[in-house]
Amino acid sequence: MSHKPTFFFTHEEWHKSMLASVYAEAGHLYTYSHVMHGFSARLCRAQLARLEQLPGHRATRRDAYAKLFTTRTPRFLGMSKNNGIWPVASFGRDVIVGIIDTGIWPESESFSDHGFAVVPERWKGACENGTGFTPYLCNRKLIGARSFSKGLRAAGLPISQDDYDSPRDSDGHGTHTSSTAVGSAVHGVSYYGYAKGTATARLAIYKVLWVTDTLESAATDVLEGMDQAMADGVDVMSLSIGFDHTPYYDDVIAIGAFAAVEKGIFVGRAAGNDGPSPNSTYNGAPWIMTVGAGTIDRNFAGSVTLGNGVAVEGASYYTEGASVSGAPLHYGVDNATEMACPSLDPAKVRGKVVLSYILHYL
């Protein structure tokens, strides 16, 4: 969009006026004030054609749908808690990290605010009410939580009834990425001393991905989440999501990230789930820190030998040298509780090897 005419008080008024002139005011979804100057709306082809002829129009992008991207870490990177940039930066003290993902499970110990001082005065964010979520679930660690779904709903993509109409995470991906990036240190929880947490950083959640048939997000919602994160005052933006090999000059997240970087906000995005092969990297805009898996110095593997003698190797959380024999193999769903929020029944799975199958992955 070009510059706002002076007789409109706000950009949203201007945008809705433009939409009203093509009989589409009800289609307005979001007005963007930070990632770009523009808006998103639901339009038919005729309305779009007329809108593109109006003074002030610069460009139009069709909505797109993002998918999730989902290893040592401090020791592998040569970082030490006793010297170097880590302690100099006070382990991220009061850095506000905005996670744009599937939401948060706030009761996790990774988001405890034990030992935290008051929230920085520069913070302008909020925690919203919604299904299974209230502002009281936020604290001095989790200082913001919002959700955005207008774009997905406008596209007619049904959100599962198993999801929460709130920042609460029903998938687990957002909670996983949040605890990895910003989680507080939890006593006795690590893997051989790795992944203990980042004790003093603050966390803000922007839920833009929802449980649909394919678990995805509308670009309009992602962009609004980024826009709100900038308005709230985050220092870092983290997105483990992306679009199918979209050139960065057409990628609305890359465009929004450019505006964020201009304002001093660090933006990190995942390189994707594909590869290693040529042209398999996502999110390659040069102003973004694109993070991908690489050669590492460990292999968390375990071997299961079935009754017919076939040995199957896979990732394992068993400690080295652990051995279990004669354990029955059971499918996870068959051992669920009868509660509304199903989980494994300890009485049913004790002493057994449980096979879990979620979204086409073991």
Element (H, E) at 145: strand 142-147
Rounded distance, CA 22 to CA 123, Å?
A: 39
Per-residue pLDDT tens digits for 186-202: 655 554 454 454 468 89
Residue of higher predicted confidence among 91 and 359:
91
Examine the pLDDT at 341 and tell me if it is beyond 50.
no
pLDDT (average), residues 227-231: 96
Burial of 248 (0-12, 13-18, 19+ CB in 10 A): middle
Rounded distance, CA 45 to CA 29, Å?
A: 17
Share of the chain above pLDDT 70, in %: 77
Per-residue pLDDT tens digits for 16-73: 999 999 999 999 999 998 988 899 999 999 999 999 999 888 889 888 887 776 544 5
Q: Does the predicted TM-score (pTM) go above 0.85?
A: no
* Angle subtended by helix axes 252-262 and 219-232, to nearest 10: 10
Mean pLDDT of the chain: 81
Domain with CATH 3.40.50.200 in the chain: 66-291
Examine the pLDDT at 296 and tell me if it is beyond 60.
no
Residue 30 has what pLDDT?
93
Cβ-based neighbours of 275, under 8 Å, separated by 6 or more: 281, 292
Tell me the CATH class for 66-291.
alpha beta
Examine the pLDDT at 13 and tell me if it is beyond 50.
yes
Task: Assign 53 to helix, strand or coil.
Answer: coil
- Give the DSSP per-residue string, 115-132: T--PPPTT----B--BTT
